[in-house]
Chain A
Amino acid sequence: MVEAQAYMQTERLIALMMLAAVVGYTIDRGLLMINKHLTSWREI
């Protein structure tokens, strides 16, 4: 990302930002699933 920034590769920079968002979203969904599994007693 820093390299893309330095070489002014805007399309690569945005693509890497999108990749970071996808990975972050996947991690978050994973934790949410663990949350739902561990606290299934809360679901009515």
Chain B
Amino acid sequence: MAEICLYTKVSNNQNFMKTKIKSIFNRSIAFIGILIIWQIMSLHYNNELLLPSPIITIKEFFNCIVDMEVLKNMGITMSRVLRGFLLSLLFGLPLGFLMGYFKSVEKAMGGMIDALRQIPVMAWVPLTIVWFGIGDGPTLFLIAFSGVFPVILNTLEGVKGISSDYYNAARSMGASRFSLFKDVTLPAVVPDILTGARISISTGWMSVI
């Protein structure tokens, strides 16, 4: 019996290794393919201003990694993204929960939110400079603004997607309103919130740069 277990374990490990190696191989092929196409294109144009070769660019990439000025600026940017992201969670989560819980709030706010999120972030730049002046204010607003909508929409969909059977089952066992939120809604909606957070931080990172 022990031998069979050991054999199964070894076989599983081998399968895992094979899948991992295959995955790394596929990724390397794609990466090398892009590098080759890039090199051919740069040789074709033969103009460093238009398209520098991958070797020069990769060298510059490693120069950037050790450049203190670049690292300092990267740190400042990351701190802004993090603060903007936290702001988007601060406003997005309560709003998403409220909209998911109460149909009236969704009806009141839904249309406005859907309209607001269609406005390009760059269109807000002049206004935010007037509102918050020069400095971190406009940047934080833009990061929070671009990140708040994925948080709201994912939280809203998460709350709405919870089956009423769970609520009924918890109520039949005497759960209070707070307990329903803490033990049913919150655990069920966490995956959606985290998906919203991933999209939010990515859009924040893109908009800050």
Q: A residues within 8 Å of B by Cβ? A: 1, 8, 10-12, 14-16, 18-20, 23-24, 27-28, 31-32, 34-35, 38-39, 42
Contact = CB atoms under 8 A, between A and B. Distances in A.
Interface of A is mostly: helix
Interface string B167-209: 0000000000000000000000011001101100110011001
Interface of B: 48-52, 56-58, 60-61, 63-65, 70, 74, 78, 190-191, 194-195, 197-198, 201-202, 205-206, 209
B201 A31 contact: yes
B201 A18 contact: no
B63 A1 contact: no
B65 A10 contact: no
A15 B202 CA distance: 19
A41 B143 CA distance: 32
Nearest to A2: B209
A27 B201 contact: yes
B61 A18 contact: yes
B195 A35 contact: yes
A15 B58 CA distance: 7
A12 B190 contact: no
A23 B64 CA distance: 13
B206 to A, nearest CB: 8
Contacts of B64: 12, 15-16, 19
Given A15-B60, A23-B74, A23-B78, 5 more contacts: A11-B52, A15-B61, A20-B205, A31-B201, A42-B191
A42 B158 CA distance: 15
18 contacts: A8-B49, A10-B52, A11-B52, A11-B56, A14-B57, A16-B64, A18-B57, A19-B61, A19-B70, A20-B209, A23-B205, A24-B206, A28-B202, A31-B198, A39-B190, A39-B191, A39-B194, A42-B191
* In the complex, the 4 A-B pairs of residues with the closest C-beta atoms, listed nearest first: A15-B60, A11-B52, A15-B61, A35-B194
Given A15-B61, A19-B61, A32 B198 contact: yes
A22 B58 CA distance: 13
